[in-house]
Amino acid sequence: MSELKKPVFKPNREFAAQARIKNMCEYNALMDWAKEDYEGFWDHFAKEKITWMQPYHTVLDESNAPFVKWFEGGKLNVSVQCIDRHLDTRKNKAAIIFEGDRGDNQVITYRELYYNVNRFANMLKNNFGVQKGDRVVIYMPMIPEAAYAMLACARIGAIHSIVFGGFSAEALRDRIEDAQAKVVITADGAFRKDKPYMLKPVVDEALKGTSVVEKVCVVERNGEDVTWVAGRDYSYNELIKNQSVTCSPEPMESEEPLFLLYTSGSTGKPKGVQHNQAGYILWAQMTMEWVFDVKENDTYWCTADVGWITGHTYIVYGPLAMGATTVMFEGVPTYPDAGRPWKMVEEYKINQFYTAPTAIRVLHKSGEHEPAKYDLSSLKVLGTVGEPIDPPAWKWYYEAIGGGKCAIVDTYWQTETGGHIVSPLPGATPIKPACATLPLPGIMGEILDPQSGEKVGVGESGYMCVVRPWPSQIRGIWGDPERFVKSYYGDVKKDGKPVYFTGDGALYDEDGYITITGRTDDVINVSGHRMGTAEVEAAIKKHPNVAEVAVVGKPHEIKGEGIFAYVVLKGEDTVSEEMEMVKEINNVIKKEIGNIALCDDVIFVPGLPKTRSGKIMRRILRAIAKGEAITQDTSTLEDPSVVQAIESAVNSCKM
């Protein structure tokens, strides 16, 4: 076993001495406290961290589990937590540093953020008729107005639902309709690689098929021409000028919804993951403090997009709740060259840098020697998120970027968990490459055997679960409570009680460290973007010539996973135009979901491997896509010969 052991890197001594959690004794003490007095632990931090408008009377109510309530009776406003309460001590501190694609920049102080958010909130109320509880869809580029929009919704008690700018009009429409949003906030577009790109036309297209949206707010960012629909579309840049800079924050109950964020599951329809007020913001702030250990004068940069959960928790809510300076970047990391992020690290003296393994692989591959050109000595903590990081990428990150002195926090979490759940603490946890290490204090994360519900032994695969509710966990799936219970509390029981199952497989090593091995369901992770195979299949099936389709993930050098589609066509002669069909299939995906879900491989096969009851045996398809031998018994298939036919179709494509 010893040669399989991963090397261990101890925390930097100097860093540890000044960290919030300084060593494993402190980590263990916190964890023991949570284990012995779970409610007392959370009560302590909720009182210490949150500026309450009204105190809560109950820490945790599990009587209707898995529908739990945290901090009941309490009232707060998340925008106050993120802005107002800092004004006494941080009025002139940079809250957001924005760098545009073209190198333009803006520094927004907490004072300015307060004014901008209040104006935005007043505009939503006065000009768009937004009220507490209304859903507002935000379809925006990475510009400060996206953060203002989120915080403005929070201020007036509206529920925002951000749709990532890479989603198509159809995908946007589905999410608008599911949430029944009455207002959409968007931009004309933004800049990417020195060129304007457009978002407003996508909104126009999405709204053609639905009548739920009454008004659209358009931020003018790139100044390109857009169509204005009279009585529906209004310019933010015009309306904002006349708004008052004060807007009294709505007192929100702890368990009223803060936002929805649609994510992929194992069926075709994306789920509207609901997060509520107090528990979410508490853990966003606590994990910022513990995992990134951001100090008062630090500058922190997370490269995610606000369209994903990482952008919500670790660009906007977490950093602002703790009063940090957060960097927002509009561009792409490889433009004008793969030194861009390192140039920005030098320029802004970034102290914590947080990105996805895909980005690290791209930056490594296309700019191995770029980091050496810049002064990266300000860096203290490096983070990764979204997918397992492979050891070579980890090594480069650790050495070339971190200079061997920065901890890498491999943060494991999900849209549903609201914040990190398994991660190293940079001043305490000895780290191992490509290992998320230990559950954070307060999170009762365990790897369980799905059959017995017992903790698995060293090296045995099991399911990554959380066995107690925690404050920032998903509260529900919008409009579908049954699906919530079924999706997360259906697979694993511990001591006879259903526990939260993440959907990921994991392993313990001999030190009790957790390595996440990947999804156990039909969700794939393409460039850190979470994608449901069923969603992609549903899109492909819309092509009139497609009879059947099965989509699986295939390891990809840069993206982590790529999308591999097995397609059965209607009618035999259509196969002659294969190249054309591949293009058409990708066009359908582009229309239904967006460019982020395009297939890397499309293989035309005569049939799919199905059991006699009609279930597609995806494991066989995954093995074929990876070029692995099929170890599974194929005799139970309805037509075992189809496997060989699929293999030869795949092989002939490779030639």
The CA distance from 540 to 279, in Å, is 39
| Token pair recorded at residue 506 | 């994991």
In the bound complex, what is the minimum distance in angstroms from residue 391's beta carbon to ligand WTA?
A: 13
281 contacts ligand WTA (rule: CB under 6 A): no
Give the SS3 label for residue 270: coil
In the bound complex, what is the minimum distance in angstroms from residue 354's beta carbon to ligand WTA?
A: 11
Question: Of 30, 147, 183, 309, which lies in the binding site for ligand WTA, with binding defined by CB under 6 A?
Answer: 309
305 contacts ligand WTA (rule: CB under 6 A): no
Phi, psi (deg, nearest 5) at residue 95: -90, -50
Q: What string of DSSP letters covers 200-253? A: HHHHHHHHHT-----EEEEE-SS-------TTTEEEHHHHGGG--S--PPPPEE
Q: Which is nearer to ligand WTA, 204 or 504 (CB)?
A: 504
Q: Which is nearer to ligand WTA, 290 or 412 (CB)?
A: 412
535 contacts ligand WTA (rule: CB under 6 A): no
Q: Which is nearer to ligand WTA, 254 or 313 (CB)?
A: 313
Task: Compose the 37-56 pattern: x for residues touching ligand WTA by CB under 6 A, - for all others.
Answer: --------------------
| Token pair recorded at residue 368 | 């191995």
Q: Which is nearer to ligand WTA, 178 or 387 (CB)?
A: 387
| Token pair recorded at residue 226 | 């857009």
From 19-27, 62-70, 89-97, 386-394, give the range in contact with ligand WTA by CB under 6 A: 386-394
Question: Of 516, 551, 567, 642, which lies in the binding site for ligand WTA, with binding defined by CB under 6 A?
Answer: 516
| Token pair recorded at residue 100 | 């545009």
Q: Which is nearer to ligand WTA, 276 or 355 (CB)?
A: 355
From 23-31, 317-325, 411-419, 588-596, give the range in contact with ligand WTA by CB under 6 A: 411-419
From 13-21, 175-183, 379-387, 583-591, give the range in contact with ligand WTA by CB under 6 A: 379-387
263 contacts ligand WTA (rule: CB under 6 A): yes
In the bound complex, what is the minimum distance in angstroms from residue 396's beta carbon to ligand WTA?
A: 17
Question: Of 387, 522, 535, 592, which lies in the binding site for ligand WTA, with binding defined by CB under 6 A?
Answer: 387
504 contacts ligand WTA (rule: CB under 6 A): yes
In the bound complex, what is the minimum distance in angstroms from residue 506's beta carbon to ligand WTA?
A: 9
From 37-45, 154-162, 281-289, 306-314, give the range in contact with ligand WTA by CB under 6 A: 306-314
Question: Of 110, 128, 396, 413, which lies in the binding site for ligand WTA, with binding defined by CB under 6 A?
Answer: 413
Q: What string of DSSP letters covers 46-114? A: HHHH---SB--SEEEE-TTTTS-EEEET-EE-HHHHHTGGGHHHHTTSEEEEEE-TTS-EEEEEHHHHH
Q: Which is nearer to ligand WTA, 502 or 527 (CB)?
A: 502
Q: What string of DSSP letters covers 102-134? A: TS-EEEEEHHHHHHHHHHHHHHHHHTT---TT-
Place of tokens 């490779």: 654
Give Cα separations from 188 to 35, 231, 649 (angstroms).
51, 17, 45
Best CA proximity match to 529, nearest among 415, 395, 619, 416: 415
| Token pair recorded at residue 630 | 């099929």
From 284-292, 385-393, 550-558, 620-628, give the range in contact with ligand WTA by CB under 6 A: 385-393
415 contacts ligand WTA (rule: CB under 6 A): yes
Beta-carbon contacts of residue 567 (< 8 Å; ≥ 6 apart): 540, 546, 548, 549, 581, 585, 602, 603, 604, 605
In the bound complex, what is the minimum distance in angstroms from residue 467's beta carbon to ligand WTA?
A: 17
Q: Which is nearer to ligand WTA, 323 or 388 (CB)?
A: 388
Question: Of 11, 144, 323, 386, which lies in the binding site for ligand WTA, with binding defined by CB under 6 A?
Answer: 386
355 contacts ligand WTA (rule: CB under 6 A): no
274 contacts ligand WTA (rule: CB under 6 A): no
Residues in region 436-475 near ligand WTA by CB under 6 A: 436
Q: Strand pairing partners for 524?
A: 531
Residues in region 420-439 near ligand WTA by CB under 6 A: 436
Question: Of 86, 221, 312, 530, which lies in the binding site for ligand WTA, with binding defined by CB under 6 A?
Answer: 530
Best CA proximity match to 501, nearest among 576, 409, 416: 416
In the bound complex, what is the minimum distance in angstroms from residue 553's beta carbon to ligand WTA?
A: 11
Q: β-pairing, 58-61 with 69-72?
A: antiparallel
The CA distance from 342 to 352, in Å, is 12
Give the SS3 label for residue 610: strand
Best CA proximity match to 387, nearest among 370, 412, 367: 412
Q: Which is nearer to ligand WTA, 323 or 424 (CB)?
A: 424
From 53-61, 128-136, 302-310, 571-579, give the range in contact with ligand WTA by CB under 6 A: 302-310
Q: How many CA atoms lie within 13 A of 52 on its CB side?
A: 19
Q: Which is nearer to ligand WTA, 73 or 518 (CB)?
A: 518
In the bound complex, what is the minimum distance in angstroms from residue 385's beta carbon to ligand WTA?
A: 5
Residues in region 159-188 near ligand WTA by CB under 6 A: none
CB 330 within 8 A of CB 199: no
Q: Cα angle at 255 between 248 and 293, to 5 degrees?
A: 80
CB 92 within 8 A of CB 108: no
Phi, psi (deg, nearest 5) at residue 432: -125, 145
Residues across the chain: 655
519 contacts ligand WTA (rule: CB under 6 A): yes
In the bound complex, what is the minimum distance in angstroms from residue 192's beta carbon to ligand WTA?
A: 21
From 196-204, 218-226, 405-413, 468-476, give the range in contact with ligand WTA by CB under 6 A: 405-413
411 contacts ligand WTA (rule: CB under 6 A): yes
Question: Of 339, 341, 445, 503, which lies in the binding site for ligand WTA, with binding defined by CB under 6 A?
Answer: 503
For 198: left if phi > 0, alpha if psi spans -120 to 50, otherwise beta; the answer is beta
The CA distance from 314 to 310, in Å, is 5
Q: Which is nearer to ligand WTA, 66 or 609 (CB)?
A: 66
Best CA proximity match to 187, nearest among 127, 118, 234: 234
Q: Which is nearer to ligand WTA, 77 or 414 (CB)?
A: 414
Contacts with ligand WTA by CB under 6 A: the residue count is: 22
Q: Strand pairing partners for 224?
A: none
Q: Which is nearer to ligand WTA, 204 or 387 (CB)?
A: 387
Q: List residues near ligand WTA by CB under 6 A.
A: 263, 308-310, 385-388, 410-415, 436, 502-504, 516, 519, 525, 530
